[in-house]
């Protein structure tokens, strides 16, 4: 395909499978990373200088709610992993 390296093709045998495995594991890293960033920002973060002008504009202002929303939006790979293991255990 145009724009993809040759090793990304499915017909490459274990090269394509290895790339897919790395991508799967990398997708699992997003949600915990954002959750840790939310926790660190909550515990020791400085006040948001850019968001201080519109303090009461929305309950979702600030970095902590943003990181928590990003955690929720990136939790799909974790949900797929949990539900696939539950189906396999039955």
> Has residue 70 been placed in a domain?
yes
Tell me if 23 is assigned to some domain. Answer: no
Q: Are 8 and 40 in contact (CB under 8 A)?
A: no
Write the CA distances from 11 to 6, 8, 79, integer angstroms.
Answer: 10, 9, 29
The answer to whether 77 and 27 have CB atoms below 8 angstroms apart is yes
pLDDT beyond 80 at 29: yes
Task: Please indicate, yes or no, if residue 76 is contained in any of the structural domains.
Answer: yes
- For the stretch 30-80, pLDDT in tens is 999 999 999 998 888 666 555 555 556 666 678 889 999 999 999 999 999
Is residue 50 one of the residues assigned to a domain? yes
Provide the pLDDT for residue 35. Answer: 94
Q: Which domain holds residue 58?
A: 30-89
Asked whether residue 19 is domain-assigned, the answer is: no
Structural domains counted in the chain:
1
In a domain, 72, yes or no: yes
Q: Does the residue 9 lie in any domain?
A: no
Q: Is residue 48 part of a domain?
A: yes
- Sign of torsion over alpha carbons 61, 63, 66, 72: negative
């Amino acid at each position: 395909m145009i724009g993809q390296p040759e090793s990304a093709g499915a017909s490459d045998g274990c090269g394509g499978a290895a790339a897919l495995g790395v991508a799967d594991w990398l997708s699992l890293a997003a949600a915990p990373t954002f959750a840790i960033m939310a926790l660190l920002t909550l515990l020791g973060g400085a006040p948001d200088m850019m968001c201080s002008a519109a303090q009461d504009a929305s309950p979702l202002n600030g970095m902590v709610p943003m990181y928590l929303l990003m955690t929720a939006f990136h939790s799909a790979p974790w949900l797929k992993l949990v539900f696939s293991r539950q189906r396999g255990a039955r």
